[in-house]
Chain A
Amino acid sequence: MDLAHSPADEAFRAEARAWLRARVPSEPLPSLETAEGFAAHRAWEAELAAAGWSVVNWPTRYGGRDCGLMRWLVFEEEYYAAGAPGRVNQNGVSLLAPTLLDHGTEEQRARVLPSMATGEVVWAQAWSEPEAGSDLAALRARAVRVAGGWRLSGEKTWSSRAAFADRAFGLFRTDPDTPKPHQGLTYVMFDLRAPGVTVRPIGRLDGKPAFAELFLDEVFVPDEDVIGEPGQGWRIAMSTAANERGLTLRSPGRFLSSADRLHALWADRGSPEAAAARVADALIGARAYQLFTYAAASRFLAGERLGPESSLNKVFWSEYDIALHETALDLLGAQGAEGEAADTDWSEGYVFSLAGPIYAGTNEIQRDIVAERLLGLPRGRRR
C-alpha cells in the first residue's frame, strides 16, 4: 500500500505543471454555455492539443500521450489546481471515445478521434428523449435502412452543448418488433448540421443554452457511422468502457481544487466558526474522493473489472459538489449584500452542480444499482 507517485510520474507532473502555469489564461474564459465562451473554450482546447495535453491517456496515434490512468489522474490534479478552463469536449472524450476504442473500427477511430482531441469537432450525446429519461430503453427515435446507410427520425432532448456542437452520437431503434425494449437498438454518429436536423437550444436554470432538443427528419447517416453491429446498440452503450467511465467522468482533481478554493474563500472571510464544519467536510470529501479513485485505479490497473462500483462515486461526487457550492454561496452571502451574484465562478459552479444528481443516470437509479448489485437486495416491482 503506497501513496507515492513514481519519480517518472512526478516528472510528468512537473512538466504538466510548468506548461499549465505558463499557458492557462489569466482571466477566466467566458461561460462555456454561451456562443462566445464556447468559441473561446474551443480555442483553448486547440492550444492544449497542440502541446499534447488535451487527451493525455489516449494512444499517441490519435493525439494522446498513452500515459496511463495514474498519470491522467496526476494531470487532472495539475489541470484544476492551475485553474484551467472547463473542457468543451467532455461528452466526446468521456463517452464516445471509449466506445470507439472498444467497439469502433480502426477507420472510425482514425477519422473521429484526432479532430475530437483538438476540439475541431465537438460532440453531443443524443441518448435521452422526451419519453425516455431514466427508462432509456423506451426510446423511440428510429433509424430505417436505406441504400448505403440509414435514415434517422424522431426527437432527442437534453443534449448538452448541442446548441454549439458539431456532431452527435446516440441510440436509435432499428427493429421495432423485438420482444424486449433493449433489443433492436443501433448506435450511430450523425452530423448536427445535416439536412433534416433542427437544433432548438433550451435554457437551463440560469437561462444559458446549456442543452438542446434535436428534431430529426429523415436524416441520412452512412453505414460507416454506425458503431458496432446494428441491433447491438444497448450493449455497446452500457459497456461504454464502464470501467473507465466510473473513473474518468469526474476526476478528483476538480474537487481537490474546488475544496482548496472554498478553504481560501473561508479564510478570506475571516474563518467564520459557523461554517468551519462545512469547510472541513469539503476538504475531507475531496480527499476521500481522491483516495477512493486511487484505490479504484489501482484495482483497475491490477486487472480488475470495475462495474457497479461506479454508482458509488456518481452519488458521492454529485452530492458533494452541491454541498461545496452551497457553502461557498453562503459564505459570499454572509458578508452582506453581495450574495449569489458576487462571484460568477461560484454561482456558475452552483448552477452546474445542481444538475449532478440528475444527469449520467439519476441518483435514484444509482442507489438502486448500489442496493441491488452491490448489496444484493431483492429487485422491487418497478421496471
Chain B
Amino acid sequence: MRFLLDAEQREFARSLDAMLSAADTPAVIRDWSRGERAGGLALWSRIAEAGVFALAVPEAYEGLGPRPVDLAVAFVELGRHAVPGPLVETVAAAALLRDPGPAKRFLPALAAGESMATLAPEGSYAVDGDAAALRLTLAADGLRLAPGHGPVRPSLDPARRLTRLLPGGELLVPDPSADRALRWARLATAAQALGVGLALLERTVAYVGQRVQFGVPVGSFQAVKHRLADAKIALEFARPLVLGAAVTMSPADVAAAKVSACEAAYTTARTALQLHGAIGYTAEYDLSLWLTKARALRTAWGTPDDCRAEVLRGRA
C-alpha cells in the first residue's frame, strides 16, 4: 500500500496549475456568462491537449483511460482555477458512451477537446446546453441525442449556463450505464469542489494577511485564524476521500467524497465571504466566482442527502 500521488501525477498537477494560472480564468468566466465563448473554447482546447478529457476515454477510442485518479488530480486544478464549461458533464458522457457504436462516433472528439458534451435526465436542466455539441438526455427508454435546447437561464454561478434539452431525438443506447456515469460525475465534481475550496482558502489567507484593522493584520486575530484552521481541516480530510474514491470507484466511496468535498468547499466559501467583509460580497471582486461555484457544485450530481443515502446503502 502506498497511498501517495507519484511524481508524475504531482508534475501533471503542477503543469496544469501553471497553464491555468496564465489563462486569466476570471475574465474567461465573465465572457462565458455572457455567451462569449472564444476564450472558453481556447482554454478548453488547451485542457484537452494536456490530456484531461482523454483520461476518461478508453485507449480504444483515442483516449488515455480510464484513469480516475489522474482525472481527480486534474479536476482539483480545474476547480482551483474555476474553469468554466461542462467539464463534469463531458466526463460523465464519456463514461456513458460505452457501446462500440456511439463510443466510436463520439469519444475521439471528446478526448481531443473538439466537442463539449452535456448531459441531464429528461426534463431537468443541463449545464451549458448552448455550448455543448453533444447533448445527451437520459430518457425513460434510454440515452438520447437531444435535438436542441431551450432558452438559457443564468445560474448563481456565472460559469454555468442552464438550459433544458428538447425531448426526443435519436436513441443512442437503450440501456445506458447510468450508474457508472453518475460515479464519474460525482468523482469529478468532488475533485472540482475540493479545488474550489483550496482556492477560496488560499485567497482568504492572503487577504487576511494584508488587510489591516486596529493597526494589525486581521489574520492575527484568533477568531479569524480559527475559522481558517477549521476550513483547512475540512479540506485536508476531504482530499484523501476524493483520491481514495478514485482508487476504488465504489458508489459509497464516491458519494462520501462528493459530500465531504462539497461540504468542505461550501463551509470554506462561507468563511471566505465572512473574512473578506463587504468586498467579498461584490460581483466585481473575483472571489465571487469561487463562492458561487462552491454553492452550485454542492447540489450538482447529487445533493448532500442523496450522497449520504448512498453511503448508508453501501453498508446495508
A positions within 8 Å CB-CB of B: 1-6, 9, 70, 260, 263, 271, 276-277, 279-281, 283-285, 287-289, 291-292, 294-295, 297-299, 301-302, 312, 315-316, 364, 366-368, 370-372, 374-382
Contacts and interface: CB of A to CB of B under 8 A. Distances in A.
B105 interface: no
Given A277-B305, A378-B217, A3 B311 contact: no
Contacts of A374: 232
Interface in B217-242: 217, 219-222, 224-226, 228-230, 232-233, 236-241
Nearest to B246: A1
A226 to B, nearest CB: 36
B5 interface: yes
Nearest to B316: A267
Contacts of A375: 201, 205, 225, 228-229, 232
| Nearest 4 interchain pairs by C-beta | A291-B240, A280-B308, A371-B225, A370-B229
A315 to B, nearest CB: 6
B8 to A, nearest CB: 11
A296 B313 CA distance: 29
B1 interface: yes
A284 B4 contact: no
Interface stretch (B11-19, B47-55, B145-153, B253-261): B253-261
A163 B110 CA distance: 69
13 contacts: A5-B1, A277-B304, A280-B308, A288-B237, A292-B236, A292-B240, A295-B240, A312-B232, A315-B230, A367-B229, A368-B229, A375-B228, A382-B222
A377 B219 contact: yes
Contacts of A1: 2-6, 9, 69, 243, 246-247
A302 B5 CA distance: 12
B311 A280 contact: yes
Contacts of B205: 375-377
B39 interface: no
Nearest to A292: B240
Given A276-B312, A284-B311, A377-B219, A3 B232 contact: no
B228 A377 contact: yes
B271 to A, nearest CB: 12
B229 A287 contact: no
Nearest to A266: B312
Contacts of A3: 1, 3, 244, 247-248
A246 B192 CA distance: 29
Given A1-B3, A371-B226, 5 more contacts: A364-B222, A368-B222, A375-B225, A375-B232, A380-B216
B233 A315 contact: yes
Contacts of B312: 263, 271, 276, 279-280, 283
A25 B221 CA distance: 51
A6 B1 contact: yes
Contact of B220 (A9, A284, A380): A380
B309 interface: yes
B131 to A, nearest CB: 33
B4 A371 contact: no
A367 B230 contact: yes
B2 to A, nearest CB: 5
A39 B311 CA distance: 41
A70 B228 CA distance: 31
Contact of A294 (B3, B233, B311): B3
B1 A367 contact: no
Contacts of B9: 1
A96 to B, nearest CB: 28
A276 B313 CA distance: 11
A292 B247 CA distance: 14
B152 to A, nearest CB: 34
B3 A377 contact: no
B179 to A, nearest CB: 19
Contacts of A377: 205, 208-209, 219-220, 224-225, 228
